[in-house]
C-alpha cells in the first residue's frame, strides 16, 4: 500500500463493509457501515474500528401547488 508518509505511519490492513436494507418497497438504503484497520507508528501498533447503524427511516411526503 502506498502512503505518502509511510516513514511516519504504516497501514497494515484495512477493510470496510456496508449492508443495505429496504425500509420502503423498492427503496434500498444503507443499514449499517463497519470499517476496521490496523496501523503502526513509531511507538507501536494500533487497531481502529468505526461502525454506524441507520434506522428509523421516514418516508418524506411533499405537497406543492403551482399557480
Residue 59 neighbours by CB distance under 10 Å: 7
Model confidence at 1: pLDDT above 70 = no
- Name the pLDDT band for 4 (thresholds 50, 70, 90): low
* Average pLDDT score over residue span 29-40: 96
* Average pLDDT score over residue span 21-32: 93
Residue 10 neighbours by CB distance under 10 Å: 15
Each residue's pLDDT tens digit, 45-59: 999 999 999 999 988
Show Cβ contacts of residue 25 under 8 Å, excluding neighbours closer than 6 positions.
none
Amino acid at each position: 500500500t502506498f502512503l505518502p508518509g509511510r516513514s511516519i505511519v504504516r497501514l497494515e490492513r484495512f477493510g470496510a463493509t456496508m449492508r443495505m436494507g429496504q425500509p420502503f418497497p423498492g427503496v434500498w438504503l444503507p443499514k449499517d457501515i463497519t470499517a476496521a484497520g490496523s496501523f503502526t507508528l513509531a511507538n507501536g501498533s494500533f487497531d481502529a474500528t468505526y461502525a454506524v447503524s441507520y434506522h428509523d427511516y421516514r418516508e418524506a411526503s411533499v405537497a406543492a401547488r403551482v399557480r
